[in-house]
Amino acid sequence: MLSPFVYVGPDVEIGPGSVVESNVTIKGSTTIGARVHVGPGTVIGCTGFGYERRDGRYQPLEHGGRVIIGDDVDIGANCTIARAKTGRETRIGRGTKIDCLVHIGHNVVIGCDCILAGQVGIAGSAMIGDRVVLAGQVGVSDHVTIGDDAVIYAKSAVFRSVPAGARYSGIPARPHTEMKRLWASLWRRFGRNA
């Protein structure tokens, strides 16, 4: 079902039972699976943030790739999912749930049954495994891999790859048990306002 004021570009496929709410933009070369819910104001297939410096100025790289969204994905309001560079795909796996105000960069691959809470930002070419949880305001750097079943706690910044099953937090993100010891040490030394 397409609500009022939805834009659907060329070469877009939307599977059965999917609901696309008002003011959504779906740019060309996008495939959306069955039973997908897209919240209002979301943009799927926008041009990725990719530039190279030529002749002393930043010039945009071509982003003519695809966006592939699996079955049973929920996408909240006002999210942006960038299209991949030419010949590549930005991919969101089956059953993944995405909260409002999430940004997914070009060439990002997200596995199945992941949870991305509000204001998560994933930079280009990051790889997110299956069943990963990214809590609110997590930032993931470009070309980083987060393994299956990992959990990244709120307001963390992931600059390096995270192994499968790990629990990470902090800026920069590191194993959560290590961060808890660090915080406890700071509190003992400087008080709770540290």
Which amino acids are annotated catalytic?
A: 106
Contact 58, 52 (CB under 8 A): yes
Residues 6+ apart with CB under 8 A from 45: 9, 25, 26, 27, 28, 29, 30, 67, 81, 82, 83
Give the end-to-end CA distance of the chain in Å, rounded to a whole number.
51
List 75's β-bridge partners, or say none: 38, 98
Q: In whole angstroms, what is the distance from residue 84 CA to residue 77 CA?
A: 21
DSSP state of 104: E
Distance CA 36, CA 23 (A): 16
In contact, 151 and 129? CB cutoff 8 Å:
no
Per-residue tokens: 95: 């059953």
